[in-house]
């Protein structure tokens, strides 16, 4: 699949059996969007070589929290990779990076658009020596002349895209999401683009340039909210935990705290009010259809709350779920992991073996024949540098 030695020939590489086994990925990305994408590829069998500058990926120092002195942020998106530190301003290191790009099936980078051109690592330069390369670029606002100059940080995109205008109570200031949601989305979109281009290469024999930017990922990821404006001319606003088009679809107070209840259709609403002991509400013309319930939410909410406050949220949770209506408690992350364990999702795995193994969150994709594996813990800076540089210096057929 590659133009030189395959990943299995590289010193220190371990045999992989996943659906992407045999795919060599040159990872020139850092922080979150790119490393998340390359970790997903690595989990599925790709051999990922993480190229870092002399000071390493910035997230190595993003702490607290830490595990054994290493940022858990870095640990969360860098398993199953091997690290080589290369100073691209050094001629020998730049040549090694160019050789890695020449041998790779996939290259993923999130430098500022055009930033790798001076090192001979931009798409035109790499594809000239490796026409099979699938070259993925992740930026903040695209590679056009206006967007390329803008720094691409998730928080900035949350603000500019409109997400923050939708997050928080109606009378509060706008809020960011609790995670870098558009970095994650862009990483997922980059992964999809890479796999699509690799699939097409089987037919054409040629790679291509795949471009993803956080702003486009944001507008796509806003789904119904961006569609409300684009297709309906409506500018959405903050509604706290309420949904603009559904009710009930929010936290509702029980005797000892809130419970999320989502009756997404008329049948679920009927089941809900039956278990609450007020079945007549399903036939009330003010609440019979979803559009009625949404329009009259301020009338319906106190009627539901009056019943919910008579029992604990745990008691209601079990009864409402048993009735076939989606609902759930508002957990901490600890509670979320515990719940995933309770329902058999086995959310925590060990990346690596023995004392070097690091607890990590399981890859969310499950395959019946070629499951993800977790052979390598997140690498130390330049942990595999000597063997990778030696491999890159060897002549290829």
Q: Which of the residues are catalytic?
A: 183
Tell the residue number behind the tokens 């999320």, with chain if given: 260
Question: Do residues 63 and 360 make contact, with C-beta atoms less than 8 angstroms apart?
Answer: no
3-state helix, strand, coil in the chain (%, to 5): 40, 15, 45
Of 118, 73, 114, 68, nearest in space to 94 by CA? 118
**Whole-angstrom distance, CA of residue 294 vs CA of residue 300:** 9
Write out the DSSP string of 251-302. EEEETTEEEEEE--SHHHHHHHHHHTT-GGGGG-TTTSSHHHHHHTHHHHHH
User: How far from 216 is each of 32, 74, 209, CA to CA, in Å?
Assistant: 17, 25, 17
Residues 37 and 39: their CA atoms lie apart, in Å, by 5
Q: Are 294 and 246 in contact (CB under 8 A)?
A: yes
Q: Burial-class residue 217 by CB neighbours within 10 Å (0-12, 13-18, 19+).
A: buried
């Amino acid at each position: 699949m590659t133009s030189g030695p395959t990943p299995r020939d590289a010193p220190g590489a371990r045999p992989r059996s996943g659906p992407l086994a045999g795919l060599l990925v040159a990872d020139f990305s850092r922080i979150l969007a790119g490393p998340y994408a390359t970790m997903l590829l690595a989990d599925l069998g790709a051999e990922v070589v993480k190229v870092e500058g002399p000071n390493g990926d910035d997230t190595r120092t993003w702490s607290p929290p830490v595990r054994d002195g290493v940022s858990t942020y870095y640990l969360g998106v860098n398993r199953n990779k091997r690290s080589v530190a290369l100073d691209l301003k050094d001629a020998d290191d730049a040549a090694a990076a160019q050789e890695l790009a020449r041998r790779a099936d996939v290259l993923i980078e999130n430098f500022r658009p055009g930033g790798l051109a001076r090192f001979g690592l931009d798409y035109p330069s790499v594809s000239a020596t490796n026409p099979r390369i699938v070259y993925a670029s992740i930026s903040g606002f695209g590679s056009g002349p206006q967007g390329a100059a803008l720094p691409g940080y998730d928080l900035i995109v949350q603000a500019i895209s409109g997400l923050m205008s939708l997050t928080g109570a109606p009378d509060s200031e706008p809020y960011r999401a609790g995670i870098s949601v558009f970095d994650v989305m862009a990483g997922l979109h980059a992964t999809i683009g890479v796999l699509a281009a690799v699939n097409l290469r089987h037919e054409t024999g040629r790679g291509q340039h795949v471009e993803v930017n956080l702003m486009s990922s944001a507008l796509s990821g806003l789904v119904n909210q961006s569609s409300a404006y684009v297709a309906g001319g409506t500018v959405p606003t903050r509604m706290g935990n309420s949904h603009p088009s559904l009710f009930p679809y929010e936290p509702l107070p029980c005797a000892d705290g809130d419970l999320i209840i989502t009756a997404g259709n008329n049948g679920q609403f009927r089941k809900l009010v039956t278990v609450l002991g007020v079945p007549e509400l399903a036939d009330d013309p003010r609440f019979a259809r979803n559009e009625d319930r949404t329009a009259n939410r301020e009338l319906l909410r106190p009627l539901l709350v009056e019943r919910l406050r008579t029992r604990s949220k745990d008691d209601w949770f079990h009864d409402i779920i048993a009735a076939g209506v989606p609902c759930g408690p508002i957990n901490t992350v600890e509670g979320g992991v515990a719940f995933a364990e309770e329902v058999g999702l086995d959310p925590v795995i060990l990346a690596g073996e023995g004392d070097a193994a690091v607890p990590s969150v399981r890859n969310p994709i499950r395959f019946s024949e070629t499951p993800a594996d977790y052979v390598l813990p997140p690498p130390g800076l330049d942990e595999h540098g000597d063997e990778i540089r030696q491999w890159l210096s060897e002549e290829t057929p």
